[in-house]
Chains A and B, each alone.
Chain A
Amino acid sequence: QLQLQESGPGLVKPSETLSLSCTVSGGSIGSGHYYWAWIRQPPGKGLEWIANIHYRGTTFHNSSLRSRVTISVDTSSNQFSLRLHSVTAADTAVYYCARVDPQDLAPRFDIWGQGTLVTVSS
């Protein structure tokens, strides 16, 4: 059974870079046609998509975050990562990693990690 687990610092200072990793277990990140995604949720608010990546390197970004986001994949460690630069308090959120299954040309976020809270504060 495929599982995703986020990891990274829970506290980041303003203007610094938020760095998170998502470890995929129970399957290979490089198998099939899946994309891998980062989604965040500010406390008490809704879901906001950040970016997707395919193991071959194709990426898609939320246009409002594109200039600050780097998403990457490491097939040797079965992980994908997020870097969000120049963070502010508005970036405080629970960050989820998720799998995107594009089956039937109808992509869905079908497996999610448990999420990790990142607080931006000095």
Chain B
Amino acid sequence: SYELTQSPSVSVSPGQTVSVSCSGDNLGRKFAYWYQQKPGQSPVLVIHQDTKRPSGIPERFSGSNSVNTATLTIRGTQAIDEADYYCQTWVDDTPWFGGGTRLTVL
């Protein structure tokens, strides 16, 4: 098995920058993905291949991945960004998800 560890929660003021981290053994040697899930909704892919944004995802979302930690950064956070964020990677043919981080925009 493979474990991805995320902080349970993080908070940010509107307009500020927030980082959500995800740690795993040698995660930097794998691709990291990030999913946003708002209450009662399905997850949405916001970052793939460490740093890439799918079409339609705002530029304020960015990602990085190095050594053992992947990071999702949201610049100019808006109220609509309040959600749970899950990191994910692949080990062989198995996808592993982190436990999720609840982002609160205060």
B49 neighbours in A (Cβ, 8 Å)? 104, 106, 108
In the bound complex, do residue A112 and residue B44 qualify as a contact, i.e. CB atoms below 8 Å apart?
yes
Q: How many A-B residue pairs have CB under 8 A?
A: 48
A77 CB within 8 Å of chain B: no
CA distance A108 to B35 in the complex (A): 10
In the bound complex, do residue A46 and residue B97 qualify as a contact, i.e. CB atoms below 8 Å apart?
yes
B93 to chain A, nearest CB (A): 5
Q: Which of B11-48 contact A (CB under 8 A)?
A: 31, 33, 35, 42-45, 48
The contact of B43 among A48, A106, A109, by CB within 8 Å, is: A109
Encode B74-90 as 1/0 by CB contact (under 8 A) with A.
Answer: 00000000000010101
B99 neighbours in A (Cβ, 8 Å)? 46
CA distance A62 to B94 in the complex (A): 7
CA distance A107 to B48 in the complex (A): 9
In the bound complex, do residue A107 and residue B86 qualify as a contact, i.e. CB atoms below 8 Å apart?
no
CA distance A48 to B98 in the complex (A): 9
With known contacts A46-B86, A106-B31, A60–B48 Cβ distance under 8 A: no
Interface, chain A (partner B; CB < 8 A): 46-49, 52, 60, 62-63, 96, 104, 106-110, 112-115
Closest 6 CB pairs of A and B: A112-B42, A47-B97, A108-B48, A106-B49, A60-B93, A49-B95
